[in-house]
Amino acid sequence: MSEAKRLENIDKRHLWHPFTQWKVWSELAPLIVDRGEGVELIDVEGRRYLDGVSSLWCNVHGHSEPALLGALKAQADKVCHSTLLGLTHRPILELAEELAPLLPEGLTRMFFCDSGSNAVEAALRMTLEWWQKKGGTAARRKSAFASLDCAYHGDTLGSVGVGFLADFHHSLESVVVQARRVSPPHVYRFYQGMSDDDALARALLELEEFFEREGDTLASFIVEPLVQGAAGMWIHPAIYLRKLRELCSRHDVFLICDEVATGFGKTGELFACQHAGVLPDLLVMGKGLTGGLLALSAVCVREDVFAGFSAPVEEGKTFFYGQTYAGNPLAAAVAVANLRLLQQRDTLGHVRNVAQWLKEKIEEHLSELPWVDEVRQLGVMTGVELTAEPGSRKAFSAQQLVGVRITQRARELGVIIRPLGNVMVLMPPLCITRDDVSRLVRVTAQSIADVLGQGPGHV
């Protein structure tokens, strides 16, 4: 039996993969990653694949980047783990010092966690507890969260509450408290038949009315700024985020920007809220914080948020929340090296080039395919919306497994991509070269054409 087959058997016997349909998985030969080099992953049989989704949207400088591995090894020689509960450590302090000047103005206090979901959970709880601990009837009324329709903020029960999707979560309905919802100005889904301008005007009005109605009861509003990633790369204009900021301020509602997906350069700015000049009260980060090497996340907050918890013991305002590996020293040391590299290599400048190359190649290879209904892109964050009937906006049914089949075909052609329903996602590591951008888009287009044919009637 080959080594690949032996490993596959272990996988099929013992593993349970996240967000993965078991029957479909069990019938496919898995790609078993052995190594990574630059923008490529290499399987146990030595085949190379372009990592077109940056290992779930987190890789920044490529795999096995020597500067990051050096930081990791140097820290491993000192201490691999020590807690932030009642202690502190050098790498997390160095990280705080490096990160502070890069944060949007006003965010001075950092609360470290281990994953995006747990940091979102922390941010939500901070805002809720802030109001409850403040006391008084008006403050205590502020006990609800709000978010955008089809938002995704993670998978703990609290973060599912602000990102509830009926298809995924209907069996959790009895235990998840669903947030109040507003429809984003997404023409494709919510305001069909309208022009972008009309949809935006309508969405802004709805937002204003929503705050008039619900503002008094909201502790916070959480948003993925500018790009709702997991919804399928839905992009809203900066003016929408600015309006949200204005309404949150007017109605005393904390604005939480969830930059877990958008942060660390993926949209062309370090944080997406900076495109809009919006200053959040709390900013959540994860994924790219360590350049995509290790699990680390943070909630960065304004001093007045922190002040709600920094009181004498008898006031009982301690924030009882945290994880064992929150702010792990290895991850923190790598994050410091990541931030330095981002600046030394002018990664943001490079992303602006990558965005332009992506745009050109999409125009060249994807725009003519009848199945491609819309391409949405900001920086490297790209969603290719497919349709079952060109011109109709009709989606393929889940049973057709179109995304899986396209992904499999791309893999045969040496590229890793991943679908979100009818949307094929492209989000390469930020360091990608022009040639590899070309390869990524060309293979995606070819895979779509190979699976769906060149025109209707081939599916």
Applying CB under 6 A, the residues found at the interface with ligand PLP are 115-117, 120, 152-154, 224, 229-230, 258, 260-261, 286
DSSP code per residue over 30-70: ---EEEEEBTEEEETTS-EEEETTHHHHT-SS-BT-HHHHH
Q: Longest C-alpha distance within the chain, in Å? A: 72
- Cα(432)–Cα(52) distance, rounded to whole angstroms? 10
Give min distance, CB of 227 to ligand PLP, in A.
9
117 vs 447, which CB is nearer to ligand PLP?
A: 117
- Cα(167)–Cα(227) distance, rounded to whole angstroms? 21
**Among all residues, whose Cβ is closest to ligand PLP?**
116
Give min distance, CB of 258 to ligand PLP, in A.
5
93's tokens: 């302090």
117 vs 347, which CB is nearer to ligand PLP?
A: 117
229 vs 329, which CB is nearer to ligand PLP?
A: 229
Give min distance, CB of 154 to ligand PLP, in A.
4
Give min distance, CB of 1 to ligand PLP, in A.
34
Give min distance, CB of 56 to ligand PLP, in A.
7
Q: Where are the alpha helices (DSSP H) in 157-252?
A: 157-161, 166-169, 196-214, 238-250
DSSP lists the bridge partners of residue 105 as: none
54 vs 117, which CB is nearer to ligand PLP?
A: 117
- Cα(347)–Cα(349) distance, rounded to whole angstroms? 5
Give min distance, CB of 212 to ligand PLP, in A.
27
Give min distance, CB of 438 to ligand PLP, in A.
27
- Cα(36)–Cα(42) distance, rounded to whole angstroms? 6
Give min distance, CB of 125 to ligand PLP, in A.
15
∠ CA 149-150-153, nearest 5°, is 105
114 vs 129, which CB is nearer to ligand PLP?
A: 114
DSSP lists the bridge partners of residue 168 as: none
62 vs 116, which CB is nearer to ligand PLP?
A: 116
38 vs 265, which CB is nearer to ligand PLP?
A: 265
- Cα(5)–Cα(13) distance, rounded to whole angstroms? 12
Give min distance, CB of 53 to ligand PLP, in A.
11
Give min distance, CB of 18 to ligand PLP, in A.
9
147 vs 447, which CB is nearer to ligand PLP?
A: 147
62 vs 286, which CB is nearer to ligand PLP?
A: 286
151's tokens: 């938002």
DSSP code per residue over 98-158: HHGGGSPTTEEEEEEESSHHHHHHHHHHHHHHHHHHH-SHHHHT--EEEEETT----SSHH
Other beta carbons within 10 angstroms of residue 39's beta carbon come to: 25
40 vs 258, which CB is nearer to ligand PLP?
A: 258
Chain centroid to CA 184: 17
Q: What would you report as the CA-atom Rg of the chain, rounded to the nearest whole angstrom?
A: 22
Q: Is the dihedral of CA 261, 266, 271, 276 positive or negative?
A: negative
Give min distance, CB of 428 to ligand PLP, in A.
16
Give min distance, CB of 44 to ligand PLP, in A.
25
Instruction: Identify the residue whose tokens are 């350049």.
Output: 291
Nearest one of 385, 380, 351, 352 to 367, comparing CA atoms: 385
117 vs 382, which CB is nearer to ligand PLP?
A: 117
- Cα(162)–Cα(182) distance, rounded to whole angstroms? 11
- Alpha carbon separation from 99 to 84, 128, 203, 283, 299 (Å, rounded): 18, 26, 34, 12, 12
50 vs 160, which CB is nearer to ligand PLP?
A: 160
